[in-house]
Amino acid sequence: MDKCIYLDNSATTPVAAEVLEAMTPYFCEAYGNASSLHASGREARQAIEKGRAEIAAILGVSPSEIVFTSGATEANNLAIIGMAFAHQEKRHIITSKIEHHAVLYPCQWLESQGYEVTTLDVDKTGRIDLEQLKDAIRKDTLLVSIMAGNNETGTLQPVEEIGAICRERGVAFHTDAVQAYGKIQLPTDSIDLLSVSAHKLHGPKGVGFLMVRKGISLTPLLHGGGHEGGRRSGTENTPGIVGLAAASSLAFNKMEETTARMRRLKRRLIDAINAIPGTRLNGHETGSLPHIVNVSFQGIEGESLVMKLDEHGIETSTGSACSSPTLEPSHVLLAIGVPISMAHGSLRISTGRQTTCEEIDAFLDVLPRVVEELRAISPFKVGE
């Protein structure tokens, strides 16, 4: 494949060279099962516990509060369903309309099992209303699950304030921090459960973790050998965990510098896109993650735009990667009040640590031409 301009880093990121290097010995050399007593088993165990300690130190929690999983879908399911099953005396959960399906669907499944779920609205930038959250909390509310930063628009939630409200009312607080981890400082002290996925931060696919604050009990979803302190059975993915820890360290060590650079690229993107007639920026312009820009173009289909850009070797997305093939307008964009026609014309551009200024310039050179070409063959006219 020719080198493309990859601007779909919210979907996944390339594995960093340092991460691959850290993982490599754990495939064919130190391949032991971390539960085995012999030398190669002990070596694998040591690597896993080193990784756990590194991640715990980044978050300022204790290593026993980190549970490794197969990714964030599993971490979110473990947080939500695991909490619900462990505390069946309380059967009410609060979440929001703009959550990832890996949060919304476990909540919907719990509803089918007799739990009650309140789904909070968001304003036109995608932020929840703290007063609405306070009003929604009831005596039988067990859990609030609100994401830290949105995967489609980048909009950040007031995580610290949400955590304070939950703590005051004795409700556990889970946040899906997949897009925010490694991009911004998270107020870990305010959070009881936090989900992360390695492949969004230049780590490998198929590995992540759930931070579970001490004292929070969860019913495991996977039963077996009692790994991860009995909270998640299954032979540990040693290379994956080593990669996740290496990716975390890299992201946090370089966070300020990378975030500042990404913010500059984002500014450049927004200014140039705003100059194209018939566009609309979706999400919060400043209270948002540094790597995501979401924009709608009047009169064209997002899918056609993604395909046309792909022909030019530029990879972008219409929304979240997992829901792209459905051609349904994004639930996130609809929740923030984007009209259906504009929601269909949305494009998500997401940068990574490897994205250069030259790549953004090359993209911005192609984009207005492609938009014009598509509008020329569209039955809808801009301004109609």
Choice between 32 and 240, CB closer to ligand PLP: 240
Which of 72, 314, 336, 349 touches ligand PLP (CB under 6 A)?
Answer: 72
Choice between 59 and 367, CB closer to ligand PLP: 59
SS3 10: coil
Q: How far is residue 153's CA from residue 313's CA, in Å, rounded to a whole number?
A: 23
Q: In which element (H, E) is residue 196 found? A: strand 193-197
Q: What is the four-CA torsion angle of 49, 52, 57, 59, rounded to 10 degrees?
A: -170
Residue numbers 1-60 binding ligand PLP by CB under 6 A: none
Q: How far is residue 28's CA from residue 26's CA, in Å, rounded to a whole number?
A: 6
Give the residue carrying structure tokens 């989900």. 195
* Chain residue whose CB lies nearest ligand PLP: 71
Q: Pattern of binders to ligand PLP over 320-349, x per CB under 6 A?
A: x-x---------------------------
Q: Smallest distance from the beta carbon of 150 to ligand PLP, in angstroms?
A: 7
Q: Smallest distance from the beta carbon of 151 to ligand PLP, in angstroms?
A: 3
Q: Out of 28, 107, 166, 322, which one is annotated catalytic?
A: 322
Choice between 30 and 75, CB closer to ligand PLP: 75
Length in residues, the chain: 384
Residue numbers 157-216 binding ligand PLP by CB under 6 A: 176, 178-179, 197, 208
Sign, Cα dihedral of 17, 260, 71, 151: negative
- Residue 318's nearest CA partner among 339, 303, 337 is 303
Choice between 98 and 300, CB closer to ligand PLP: 98
Residue numbers 234-253 binding ligand PLP by CB under 6 A: none
Burial (0-12, 13-18, 19+ Cβ within 10 Å), 57? middle
Q: Smallest distance from the beta carbon of 176 to ligand PLP, in angstroms?
A: 5
Sign, Cα dihedral of 70, 71, 74, 80: positive
Residue numbers 85-104 binding ligand PLP by CB under 6 A: 100, 102
Which of 151, 157, 188, 330 touches ligand PLP (CB under 6 A)?
Answer: 151
Q: Smallest distance from the beta carbon of 147 to ligand PLP, in angstroms?
A: 6
Choice between 155 and 298, CB closer to ligand PLP: 155
Q: How far is residue 79's CA from residue 371's CA, in Å, rounded to a whole number?
A: 42
Regarding 82 and contact with ligand PLP (CB under 6 A), the answer is no
Helix, strand, coil shares of the chain, percent, nearest 5, are: 45, 15, 40
Choice between 106 and 329, CB closer to ligand PLP: 106
Q: How far is residue 3's CA from residue 13's CA, in Å, rounded to a whole number?
A: 15
Sign, Cα dihedral of 54, 55, 61, 67: negative
Has 322 been annotated as catalytic?
yes
Q: Smallest distance from the beta carbon of 157 to ligand PLP, in angstroms?
A: 12
Q: How far is residue 251's CA from residue 255's CA, in Å, rounded to a whole number?
A: 6
Where does this chain touch ligand PLP (CB under 6 A) — which range of 69-77, 268-276, 337-345, 369-377? Answer: 69-77
Choice between 52 and 200, CB closer to ligand PLP: 200
Residue numbers 257-316 binding ligand PLP by CB under 6 A: none
Q: Smallest distance from the beta carbon of 55 to ligand PLP, in angstroms?
A: 15
SS3 81: helix
Q: Smallest distance from the beta carbon of 302 to ligand PLP, in angstroms?
A: 17
Where does this chain touch ligand PLP (CB under 6 A) — which range of 43-51, 65-73, 85-93, 336-344? Answer: 65-73
Q: How far is CA 341 from CA 302, 323, 378, 381, in A?
A: 10, 17, 13, 12
Regarding 73 and contact with ligand PLP (CB under 6 A), the answer is yes
- Number of residues forming the site for ligand PLP (CB under 6 A): 14
The strand pair at 141-145 and 172-176 is best described as: parallel
Residues near 272 by beta carbon (within 8 Å), at least 6 away in sequence: 364, 367
Which residue ranges make up the site for ligand PLP (CB under 6 A)? 71-73, 100, 102, 147, 151, 176, 178-179, 197, 208, 320, 322
Residues with a catalytic annotation lie at 322
